[in-house]
Amino acid sequence: MRKTSRTHNISKKSGRAALYGGIAGAIFSGVVALSYVALPSFFSLDYSSVSLAKLSEDIETNKVVHLPTPDPLKGIYMSQCVVGTPSFRGSLVKFVDETPLNAIVIDIKDYTGRIAFKTDNPTLKDSVSTACGAGDMKDFIKSLHDKNIYVIGRVTVFQDPNYTKLHPEQAVQSKSRPGEPWKDYKGLSFIDVSSKAYWGYVTALSKEAYEIGFDELNYDYIRYPSDGPMSDAVFVNPRKAEALEEFFSYLHANVKPMGVVMSADLFGMTTTNTDDLNIGQQLERALPFFDYIAPMVYPSHYPNGFHNLGNPNLRPYEVVNFSLTEAVRRTEATSSPVAIIGSVPIASTSPKLYTKQPYSRLKIRPWLQDFNYGGTYGPNEIDAQIRATTDAGLNSWMFWDAGNKYSSLRALLPKN
């Protein structure tokens, strides 16, 4: 839940222009050769005005290039409205460019369900935002790539008031208001996790985003709803963990073949709980289907008394370190305290250890907190979370601030 809302140390400048020029030349030569064979009359025309340099420039300009995932990755979040505000987004790009940061996570579908970039795709075009977003998204991504900034597109998945308005029958239904979508305490509606038509919609958005240049797709709100009158909610499949894993499997099978890097945001407590938190999320279920798992280990989101820590907001190092140490242990483990039915783990009433595939700990890449919620987060709290992550054996992280200010992070990070 959001409140308040590797080092391939790549230099900030690169020699991609030479590479593009070579590619352009090769493509042009191939086109010319093919034309001589297939279209001889074509060469009766006067080519004195044809500019090979211009063709090379056009190919370079339109070529979509995807950057490799930096190791370690150090990123910040940019909202859908900020990416459409040149002065604001420019200040964030400058911040990234001048510090050890090397990645930006940009909303491409936020909590409204609206899409942040223009598209003619008939499946998506009616959902393009008229309030926020960037009309020049493709060019903006290229400008980030020119600075060797890795670009991640964040997709708010099952929380989607726009889609539920268009397709109310695919929403989580209200028991007390038959035929109407259920809503949480903020008045937001959710798509039912079992809606396979919506799975296709998310896949179409993913493909479109990758084709305009996003290097990675980050899936958030991949869960059943919470924070509302839950007794009023009607689900197609109340076996939440199983239904969610089926979606993970579908998404992986239909998006991963493009070559896109995929990451999933999970509640922080999925690293320490073996049940599904009543929202369908279990760490072991997500691990096989995503390149990275991003547990949201914001100390402000843990209950008082968690791990005997009193007020977690006052203990950011301990909360983050314990959560991520557990995440590493479970990720690398060859067994897990959840039951397995076929390939599907479910919460066990009498926990036993079941065999699982081990994964690299570096699959874990957490979201950390740079916002004041239930406490003040200054440079000391930011530093504590980074140290806690490193001490858990991890090297990458992303910071969240719904306001996109990052005042404390700015004060902490040295300039290059």
Least confident of 56-65, 90-99, 149-158, 217-226: 56-65
Domain residue spans in the chain?
Answer: 16-63, 69-412
Element (H, E) at 218: strand 216-220
How far is the C-alpha of 106 from the C-alpha of 252, rounded, in Å? Answer: 21
Residue 27: is its pLDDT beyond 80? no
Q: How much is the pTM?
A: 0.84
Q: What is the pLDDT of residue 214?
A: 98
Residue with tokens 């090769």: 26
Q: What is the pLDDT of residues 216-253, one digit of tens each?
A: 999 999 999 999 999 999 999 999 999 999 999 999 99
Query: Could you tell me the two tokens for 98?
Result: 């001048």
Cβ distance 173 to 180 under 8 Å?
yes
Q: What is the pLDDT of residue 100?
A: 97
Length in residues, the chain? 416
Q: What is the pLDDT of residue 142?
A: 97
Residue 63: is its pLDDT beyond 90? no
Q: Considering only residues 53 and 80, tell me which one the structure prediction assigns the higher pLDDT.
A: 80
| Residue 149: band (very low, low, confident or very high) from pLDDT cuts 50, 70, 90 | very high
Arithmetic mean of pLDDT over the chain:
86
Q: What is the pLDDT of residue 141?
A: 98
How far is the C-alpha of 54 from the C-alpha of 278, rounded, in Å? Answer: 58
Q: What angle do CA 300, 362, 369 make, to 5 degrees?
A: 20
Q: Percent of the chain beyond pLDDT 70?
A: 81
Section 383-392 average pLDDT: 98
CATH assignment, 69-412 = 3.20.20.80
Query: Could you tell me the two tokens for 369?
Result: 């907190």
How far is the C-alpha of 406 from the C-alpha of 149, rounded, in Å? Answer: 18
Could you give phi then psi for residue 2, rounded to 5 degrees? -95, 130
How far is the C-alpha of 220 from the C-alpha of 111, rounded, in Å? Answer: 10
Section 92-108 average pLDDT: 98
* Single-letter code of the amino acid located at 268: G
Section 91-113 average pLDDT: 97
How far is the C-alpha of 82 from the C-alpha of 93, rounded, in Å? Answer: 11
Residue 35: is its pLDDT beyond 50? no
Residue 9: is its pLDDT beyond 80? no
Q: What is the pLDDT of residues 323-341, one digit of tens each?
A: 999 999 999 999 887 644 4
Query: Could you tell me the two tokens for 99?
Result: 């510090």
Least confident of 61-70, 90-99, 255-264, 339-348: 339-348
Q: What is the pLDDT of residue 338?
A: 65
Q: What is the pLDDT of residues 171-187, one digit of tens each?
A: 999 999 999 999 999 99
Q: 38's torsion region: left (phi>0), alpha (psi -120 to 50) or beta?
A: alpha
Residue 45: is its pLDDT beyond 60? no
Q: What is the pLDDT of residue 415?
A: 87
Q: What is the pLDDT of residues 272-313, one digit of tens each?
A: 998 899 999 999 999 999 999 999 999 999 999 999 999 999
Q: How many CB atoms lie within 10 A of CB 205?
A: 24
